[in-house]
Structure 1
Amino acid sequence: MALRRAALLSGSFAALLLSPAMAQGKRPFINDKKAPDSRHDLDVIQQHVKDTLPAARRATVCIDLGDGTGSGVVVSPEGLILSAAHVTSGVGKEFTVIFEDGRKLKAESLGLVASTDCAMARIIEPGTYPFIELDRDDTAKLGDWVYALGHSGGFDKERGIVVRIGRLVQMKDSTVQSDCSLIGGDSGGPLFDLNGHLIAIHSRVGSRTPENMHVPVREFLKNWDGLTKAEFIGEGPFAKKPEKGKGFLGLGTKDRPGGGLDIEKVGRESPAEKAGMKAGDILLKMDGTELKSKEQLQDLLKEKAPDDRVALELLRNGKPETLTLRLGER
């Protein structure tokens, strides 16, 4: 009996060592070892990843921009997403996010930091979404074991999200480096610690797959207010600020006696056509300003940049309509 009890206690002790859930998010001892030196050490790493991976996968999304894809991760039940600025590439852009199960939802980019590659977006369809917790206390240290997720090469439902395990090999103020293997399509995806907390977002995929840079969560937290307010923050290599005067509507108009503009032509595949405007409509206002001449409309557009949202009021067959659209690029 005594031997059996000792064996049971020994098994329970091993289970405690292997289960990060039982450790209540404490720092795994394996992070403080120079290298694993036993099968048990490897089992500990495996068990941490096994326990935290399902939630991490559910919250990781593919960002489909139409002409390319990247990755991101949901960080709130309302659908806030963290990604990289070079993935979202602007403020107020609309795109599709795809969860691992293939569910597609509409989203739009919020703010970004052009100098450090931070970006935020949000799902614009109402709902409650799977999300993960941030490492708000900035606990990651050099040498920690981590794992990277992402939609490598684009969304592939049959394959699923790709998981790569590695360590933090360099840490600086605004970047961390891991030796996780990443490729195109992973950009904007999440880097997790062994407790399943988000510690960084993939930024620069190196020419050698195990040499990759990530933006630490502290950079997002430092700029959180501006990101949520859809601000274009700073200047840098990861995003180019839209230029005023390059906003494109795609209408041919002429002045109308008494005010307003007769729409004579709507450009093919233009923002105006995509919003449903038609030749024969009468354009009355833009963003609440009454339109009295073609030149006035052009002057208003000179203050607009690509992707700016505008509200247009018009008459169609004598009935008022209001359309909201995003401008294209001239």
Structure 2
Amino acid sequence: MRLFKNCLVVLVLCCSSTLAERLYVNDKRFPESKQDLVAIQDALVDHLGKARSATVCIKLNQGSGSGVIVSPDGLVLTAAHVVAGVNKKLTVIMEDGTEYEAKSLGLNADNDAAMLQILDQTDLPFVDIEPKNDSKKPEIQLGDWVFSLGHAGGFDAERGSVVRLGRMVRVAKSTVQSDCKLIGGDSGGPLFDMNGTLVGIHSRVGRVLEQNMHVPIQVFHTYWSQLSAGEFIGSGPFAEKPVPGSGFMGMAVKETASGLEVTQLEPRYPAHIAGIEVGDVILKIDGDEFRLSSELREFMEQSSAGDLVIITYTRDGEEVEEELTLAKR
């Protein structure tokens, strides 16, 4: 089923990413008439509705960023520094406020590109993306008109995503720059050309509001298979590579005939936050049985801060399953 879904995603992207007629105003140094301004306005109005419906807010722990859906089954492109890791549990908020569970897939820590997957959803709104090309260079050109979207400052039900109109001021192979005004919360959001085609993902929000960097879609095409497979690519600076042994649950256990009984919890650490209590008996972690303290110790030596784990335990004879994200030791 996953193979079928991946094939469907590729098919949709290939079929939907067709070259559209270039807006003639792009080839002028500046709008020269009312007609030119109206052409820009009409292009924005024609494509804004579809673009906003696919632009999402991404919630992770106490922070939030933005992203954009690029397939009907919920594949989302965003920035690596927004998700900050692979296989993380996330919440995606649609333009109308609907919330979906999601998990992060792969990321490129060098180029600030990342993917995540909305879980168990179909027929979601999505946008067209710039087609892959042999040169791996952005199709967008210096001076082209573009518009950006993002949940600036976090999700706001009354306001929705925020649109900014601007032009390309720098175009390079691994990064592009626009003068669209972006602030915190916009990171990971989409940059569109005036045909409504996704051409970039917001990366670095500049100290000067008109100086903002975006990851070109060609970077995503280059690493598409690794990102969709959940790989961690590169060594920074946009995400910290997992360090085995750095994960911490915040609980102590002792061996009993029925399993590992929790004897102590650290307040405000993952086990305590997940609702585990002293006296609970740990049976499984990620589906594997744990009976010995040495088994738990070995597991933690291979686990990293930020890992999502599923703990199965018993309380008063009832079996309970909880998810928790490991803290940094």
TM-score category, normalised to shorter length: 0.7 to 0.9
> CA 1:282 to 1:150, structure 2 compared with 1: closer, same or farther past 3 Å?
closer
Match in the other structure for 2:153: 153
Residues 58 and 320 (structure 1 numbering): CA distance in 2 closer, same or farther, change over 3 Å? closer
Matched, 1:265 2:264: yes
Deviates more, 1:168-177 or 1:117-126: 117-126
Which one-letter code corresponds to 1:177 in the other structure?
A: Q
Q: Residue by residue, what CA displacement relative to the aligned partner does 1:216-275 show, whole Å, maximum 9, x if unpaired?
A: 00001111111111111111211111211121223221123x684233234444433444
- Contact 1:204 / 1:214 at 8 angstroms: preserved in 2? yes
- Aligned amino acid, residue 305 of structure 2: P
* Deviation at residue 323 of structure 1 after TM alignment: 5.1
> SS of the counterpart of 2:62?
coil
Matches within 5 A, 1:94-105: 94-105=89-100
Equivalent residue number for residue 16 of structure 2: none
CA distance in 2, matches of 1:54, 1:288: 43
- Closer, same or farther: CA 71–285 of 1 in aligned 2, 3 Å: closer
**Matching residue of 1:107:** 102
Tell me the amino acid that sits aligned with residue 103 of structure 1.
Answer: T
Quick one: which of 111, 115, 134 aligns to 1:116?
Answer: 111
Match of 1:298 in 2: 297
Distance change (3 Å), C-alpha of 1:69 and 1:286 = closer
User: Aligned ranges for residues 198-277 of structure 1 at < 5 Å?
Assistant: 198-256=198-256, 260-277=259-276
Question: What is the rounded CA distance, in whole Å, between the counterparts of 2:146 and 2:236 in structure 1?
Answer: 28
The one of 110, 124, 130 equivalent to 1:129 is 124
Please state if 1:62 is matched with 2:57.
yes
- Does structure 2 retain, via aligned residues, the 8 Å contact 1:152–1:183? yes
Counterpart CA distance in 1 for 2:51 and 2:322 is: 39
Please report how far the alpha carbon of residue 139 of structure 1 lies from its aligned counterpart in structure 2 after TM superposition.
2.7
Normalised by the size of structure 1, how large is the TM-score? 0.85
Q: Aligned ranges for residues 278-289 of structure 1 at < 5 Å?
A: 278-287=277-286
Q: Is 1:50 the equivalent of 2:49?
A: no
Cα 1:248–1:161, aligned 2, differ >3 Å: closer, same or farther? Answer: same
**Is the CA contact (8 Å cut-off) linking 1:232 and 1:241 kept in structure 2?**
yes
Question: How far 1:109 moved relative to its partner?
Answer: 1.5
How far 1:85 moved relative to its partner?
0.9
SS in 2 for 1:220: helix
RMSD: 2.4
In 1, are the aligned partners of 2:88 and 2:308 still within 8 Å (CA)? no
Q: Counterparts of 2:304 and 2:127 in 1: how far apart (Å)?
A: 34
Please report how far the alpha carbon of residue 195 of structure 1 lies from its aligned counterpart in structure 2 after TM superposition.
Answer: 0.5
Specify the SS of the correspondent of 1:169. Answer: strand
Distance in 1 (CA, whole Å) between partners of 2:103 and 2:116 is 6
What's the offset of the Cα at 1:292? Answer: 4.6
Shift of 1:285: 4.3
- In the alignment, the residues of structure 1 paired with residue 175 and residue 283 of structure 2 have an alpha-carbon distance, to the nearest angstrom, of 50
Q: Percent identity?
A: 49
Contact 1:75/1:131 (CA < 8 Å) preserved in 2? yes
Structure 2 letter corresponding to 1:115: D
Residues in 1 aligned to 2:63 and 2:320: alpha-carbon distance in whole angstroms? 34
The alpha-carbon deviation at position 212 of structure 1 amounts to 1.0
CA distance in 2, matches of 1:50, 1:158: 20
8 A contact 1:259–1:293 mirrored in 2: no
Contact map agreement 2:258 2:281 (CA 8 A) in 1: no
Stretch deviating more after TM superposition (134-143 or 84-93): 134-143
Q: Give the alignment of 1:6-85 within 5 angstroms.
A: 25-85=20-80
Residue-by-residue CA offset, 1:45-82 (whole Å, 9 max, x unaligned): 11111101100011111122242221111111111111
Distance 1:129 1:34, change over 3 A: same
Tell me which structure has the larger Cα radius of gyration: 1
Measure the CA separation in 2 of the matches of 1:288 and 1:185.
36
Superposed counterparts of 1:161-172, under 5 Å: 161-172=161-172
Q: Residues 96-128 of structure 1, C-alpha deviation per residue, up to 9 Å, x if partnerless?
A: 222222222222221110001101112124343
CA positional deviation for 1:288:
5.7
1:98 and 1:320 map into 2 onto residues whose CA distance is 31
Aligned partner of residue 52 in structure 2, secondary structure? helix
User: CA–CA distance in 2 between the matches of 1:180 and 1:285?
Assistant: 49
Q: Tell me which residue corresponds to 2:183.
A: 183
Distance 1:76-1:88 versus aligned 2 partners, 3 A rule = same
Q: Any conservation in 2 of the 1:69–1:154 contact (CA below 8 Å)?
A: yes
Return the letter of the residue paired with 1:249: M
Per mean C-alpha deviation after superposition, the further-off stretch among 313-322 and 30-39 is: 313-322
Distance 1:323 1:165 in 2: 44
TM-score, structure 2 as length reference: 0.85
CA pair 32-229 structure 1, distance change in 2 beyond 3 A: same
